[in-house]
């Protein structure tokens, strides 16, 4: 059920859960409490949920860290805070639940780091994709050097941070920061369409795609190919693979577990 008092509202419709960052007065800026709620959901997704949507209330996805709540920390405390962000972003990416993000307005700093931890990104016109940390005298700490850097490449990300460059929706889609560019007010509807589509896949196939593809990109070619073979062997000998083949031959939709 949706609780408007929470920083993260959750609405479940069949196999799809819609998570909405609910700090519209702050452009959904991230604080430790909101990060903890995101962690809590992906740490134990509700039974029966097969895909999730991440969205933001009030016309923005997430404007990054809430600098008004900034507290002075020692170096080791900053290190621990950053590592906790890494842990939660890994939870979003690798929980096994496919995640579609519906992007509007600000997709800035930590908001871009969060978006890039999702698997499918849908953006409306007017989005602002930015990593402004250099203008604040700080450095990214939520995983951007890995996730954003791998999408853009190190050279382009370095320029983006040095200059504070803002990418608009069409540019972001061309660069891979968004996978779909839709019309005004259409991001959430498209995200729901995609999430429902993904939820129809076999859970094991989705799990393999989420867990294996990003990790294979870190491996040598021989290691990656071996892991690919392991995933193929496990998935293709499953009950769902048998159902998928029978459904194809019988010209009907598959009924996966």
Kindly list the catalytic residues: 113, 133
Residues whose CB falls within 8 Å of the CB of residue 11, separated by 6 or more in sequence, listed in order: 1, 2, 17, 18, 20
Task: Round to whole Å and give the CA distance between 21 and 29.
Answer: 9
Q: Are 25 and 18 in contact (CB under 8 A)?
A: no
Cα separation, 176 vs 152, in Å, equals 7
Of the candidates 180, 43, 162, 81, the one whose C-alpha atom is nearest the C-alpha of residue 123 is 180
């Amino acid at each position: 059920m949706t609780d408007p008092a929470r920083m993260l509202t959750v609405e479940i419709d069949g196999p799809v859960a819609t998570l909405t960052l609910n700090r519209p007065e702050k452009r959904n800026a991230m604080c430790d409490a909101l990060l903890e709620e995101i962690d809590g959901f992906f740490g134990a997704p509700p039974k029966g949920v097969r895909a999730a949507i991440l969205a933001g209330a009030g016309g923005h996805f997430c404007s990054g860290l809430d600098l008004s709540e900034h507290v002075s920390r020692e170096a080791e405390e900053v290190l621990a805070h950053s590592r906790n962000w890494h842990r939660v972003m890994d939870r979003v990416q690798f929980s096994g639940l496919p995640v579609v993000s519906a992007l509007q307005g600000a997709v800035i700093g930590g908001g871009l780091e969060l978006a890039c931890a999702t698997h499918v990104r849908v953006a409306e016109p007017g989005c602002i994709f930015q990593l402004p940390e250099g203008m604040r005298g700080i450095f990214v700490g939520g995983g951007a050097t890995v996730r954003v850097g791998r999408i853009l490449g190190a050279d382009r990300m370095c320029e983006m941070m040095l200059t504070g460059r803002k990418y608009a929706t069409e540019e972001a889609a061309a660069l891979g920061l968004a996978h779909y560019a839709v019309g005004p007010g259409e991001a959430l509807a498209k995200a729901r369409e995609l999430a429902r589509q993904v939820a129809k896949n076999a859970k094991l196939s989705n799990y393999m795609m989420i867990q294996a593809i990003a990790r294979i990109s870190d491996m040598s070619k021989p290691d990656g190919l071996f892991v690919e073979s392991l995933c193929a062997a496990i998935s293709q000998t499953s009950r769902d693979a048998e159902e998928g083949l029978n459904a194809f031959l019988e010209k009907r939709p598959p009924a996966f577990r």
